[in-house]
Structure 1
Amino acid sequence: MSDSKYTRETVLQVHPWVPGKLLSITTTRSPEFEFTAGQFARLGLPAAGLPDEPPTIWRAYSMVTPPSQREFLEFYSIVVPEGEFSPRLAALRPGDSLYVDKTAFGFLTLDRFIPGGATSGGGTPTHGDLWLLATGTGLSAYLSLLQEPSTWAAFDQIIVVHGVRSVQELAYRERLQQWSRDGLPEAAGLPRRARLTYLPIPTRESFQDMPAARLTHLIEDGRLEQLAGRKLDADVSKIMLCGNPDMLTEARQLLKTRGFAVGRRGNPGNLALENYW
């Protein structure tokens, strides 16, 4: 095993969702890299103009692929035109190198929550609901979680809410729509599995029957619960928030009034969050 803190991986594929703005990149995966669904990696590149030098520029990206996918890693990125890293990431082509820190990080993992929910009216224990609320590329971590059969076995209902500006930014939409119809194929043999509700919400365009509104407004006025057909109940629901910092701050305050709180050491909560553009 190498003593280096990172591995040099090879780009396998670059898929543009919105040219010049949104892309997914697939690389090889070192057997030394281990992670939990929902975590992120630090990706590295050498300084511009020094392709053969060690990486010095690092950025965090959640894995789209699940831990069980041993052959490759997939990441989802927005391109910041004036950025030091993402335009160069978008310019990579198959065969190019990308560095991956061997240590995974992040708190959007299911072990942040106490398993299960309350009991139903008849006294039957429920598994509760998992709400996955994201803006933009914050969707990444949820895609990894949703490809793990254990996620589907842990809840009665999973609600994925993806807030973007325009319809074309609804990356991975077809995959999520398929899971909402058919479930995860790998979970078919489970004794029980959750049902998935997918709510794609562009804020600047009308799309299907979805309101063109920010996620925080939909939480505040109750429309998010109406769309999902489920209540945001602190005794039953577990919520993950991933997106831009302003959304997280506002949503956390709104949910706090509903009884949702981030867990502390030795005291798991019912809310987990991470800043992610």
Structure 2
Amino acid sequence: MAAWVEGRVIERIEWTPTLFSLRVAAELAPYKAGQFTKLALQRGEQRVQRAYSFVNPPTTPYHEFYLVKIPDGELTPSLGALQPGDSLLVQSQATGFLTLDELPAGRDLWLLSTGTAIGPFLAMLAEGEAFRRFENLVLVHGVRKGEELTYQALITSLVEQHGPRFRYVPFVSREAWPGAMEGRIPAAIDAGSLQERVGMAFSAEHSQVMICGNPAMVKETQQSLLALGLAKNLRRAPGNISMENYW
């Protein structure tokens, strides 16, 4: 069983009334971009815990987590009240297989996410290995409202650094938003409008696709990609599609 260590909040970033990030100092075992650990708060004899992915690349001197505050949730309202200097518990050993070393070789890497599930993909992109392994990279982020398109400074820096090799496609489902596609990611794949926006097709020969988000989006997007001839990526049978449900 992984050990728990005490962490200390060193910075909090308020994105919207319900979205925030915590930067935490804690002595953790080495981990990979794309993995997750657990955060917890102790309430008497009860330890309330949830899993959260790292947003930061492993080389940073802090650990960053991107959270949504659920009003009636057991943990997120309390995490959302933490301020710099406050303590929390962090599981010292990370886990998870949504990592680049689980992917076969390819030319194009598609990173398809919704909500806070963009976090592990930001860690991979900031770490840099994805740009060394793949020629073309696409980050897709689906949200309900435009204000939820967070981490724009980091994304803009990646666009400026890597130019046409890196494409960012935001989706906003509940309002019109400048520069964003409307609707949902799987529907755009089915219609071909996402591929048209990017200027690149999904290909069983060239594409690796990582999907991270709510279970409905993950399931429907996988079905859309299977219909295009892509296959699930399994260790015993390498393919194109790697997935993680984000709750």
TM > 0.5 fold call: yes
Amino acid paired to 2:26: R
Q: 1:14 aligns with which of 6, 12, 15?
A: 12
| C-alpha distance in structure 1 between counterparts of 2:220 and 2:6, whole Å | 39
2:169 touches 2:181 (CA, 8 Å); kept in 1?
no
| C-alpha distance in structure 2 between counterparts of 1:137 and 1:210, whole Å | 17
1:61 corresponds in structure 2 to 52
Amino acid paired to 2:33: A
Question: Is 1:26 the equivalent of 2:23?
Answer: yes
Question: Is 1:243 the equivalent of 2:213?
Answer: yes
Structure 1: state its 5+ residue gaps. Answer: 117-127, 184-192
| C-alpha distance in structure 2 between counterparts of 1:235 and 1:80, whole Å | 41
| C-alpha distance in structure 1 between counterparts of 2:87 and 2:164, whole Å | 39
Within 5 A, what are the aligned runs for 1:1-277? 5-19=3-17, 21-30=18-27, 32-47=28-43, 50=44, 56-69=47-60, 71-116=61-106, 128-183=107-162, 195-276=165-246
**C-alpha offsets along residues 55-97 of structure 1, whole Å, 9 cap, x if unaligned?**
611101110111111x210000011111001111100111111
Q: Would you identify which runs of 4 or more consecutive aligned residues in structure 1 move more than 4 Å? A: none
Please identify which structure carries the higher strand content. 2
Structure 2: state its 5+ residue gaps. Answer: none
| C-alpha distance in structure 2 between counterparts of 1:228 and 1:181, whole Å | 17
| C-alpha distance in structure 2 between counterparts of 1:264 and 1:201, whole Å | 29
Q: How many residues were matched structurally?
A: 247
1:136 touches 1:243 (CA, 8 Å); kept in 2?
yes
Query: What's the TM-score once normalised by structure 1's chain length?
Result: 0.85
Q: Give the greater-gyration-radius structure (CA).
A: 1
Cα deviation, residue 227, structure 1:
0.9
Secondary structure of 2:15 counterpart: strand
2:170 touches 2:181 (CA, 8 Å); kept in 1?
no
Cα deviation, residue 206, structure 1:
1.8
1:112 touches 1:268 (CA, 8 Å); kept in 2?
no
| C-alpha distance in structure 2 between counterparts of 1:95 and 1:203, whole Å | 37
Secondary structure of 1:225 counterpart: helix
Structure 2 CA distance for partners of 1:260 and 1:180, relative to 1, 3 Å:
same
- Pairwise CA RMSD of aligned residues? 1.8
Cα deviation, residue 268, structure 1:
2.5
